[in-house]
Amino acid sequence: MTKFSVVVAGGGSTFTPGIVLMLLVNQDRFPLRALKFYDNDGARQEVIAEACKVILKEKAPDIAFSYTTDPEVAFSGVDFVMAHIRVGKYPMRELDEKIPLRHGVVGQETCGPGGIAYGMRSIGGVLELVDYMEKYSPNAWMLNYSNPAAIVAEATRRLRPNAKILNICDMPIGIESRMAQIVGLQDRKQMRVRYYGLNHWWSAISRSFRKG
């Protein structure tokens, strides 16, 4: 089976170890030969990367691991880019959420005034990553988790219409799993669900009965 090289853009995020663990759990379906972290905050990334280095050494020592702040090093020779960046970091998130609240509006990072502000900041950062990928690994695909997902997805569709990018959110899987647990099902795939929109408005949930 082909082994892949992946760069995680936003390597300094505290969510990055979760991505690493997810990749390790799925090595039978998505084997890795190399994993790289990229972040423009080297000090923050180093803390996360050194922790992940221990995890990889224990669980998958055959995967080549490195981290860098150099985009050419990070994006060269990769098959996939997993992007989850936060432009402005948490100080700006605090403003995105608290300023609307002072005016009686919901403070949230994916919708409302805060979501729009965060979206305007995020677009440039995500486009920068797309451009790095296309320059250094033109055959690679990007999986973008960066919020606000809908705003970023629409921006990339309009501004980089030919880019190999999938804008996704993993929240529905988590919600499905929790719902399945609440109603006593063993697996979320035992349910059929329908949901829409930026904040995953669920419109239908039913039990799935499969023959055989």
Alpha helices in 61-195 (DSSP H): 71-75, 89-102, 112-136, 149-159, 171-182
Closest CA to 58 of 87, 14, 28, 20: 20
* pLDDT beyond 70 at 122: yes
Range of weakest confidence among 63-67, 72-76, 86-90, 186-190? 186-190
Q: What is the pLDDT of residue 158?
A: 97
Give binding residues as ranges: 93, 147, 169, 200
The Cα 85–Cα 7 span in angstroms is 13
Please calculate the CA angle 28-32-36 and round it to the nearest 5 degrees: 145
pTM as predicted? 0.88
Q: Where are the domains of the chain?
A: 4-169, 173-207
**According to the CATH classification, is domain 4-169 in 3.40.50.150?**
no
Q: In the predicted model, what is the mean pLDDT of residues 99-120?
A: 92
User: Residue 102 carries which side chain, given as an amino acid letter?
Assistant: R
Please calculate the CA angle 46-93-175 and round it to the nearest 5 degrees: 90
Q: In the predicted model, what is the mean pLDDT of residues 110-120?
A: 92
> 206: left (phi > 0), else alpha (psi -120 to 50), else beta?
beta
Q: What is the pLDDT of residue 173?
A: 82
Give binding residues for Mn(2+) as ranges: 169, 200
Give binding residues for substrate as ranges: 93, 147
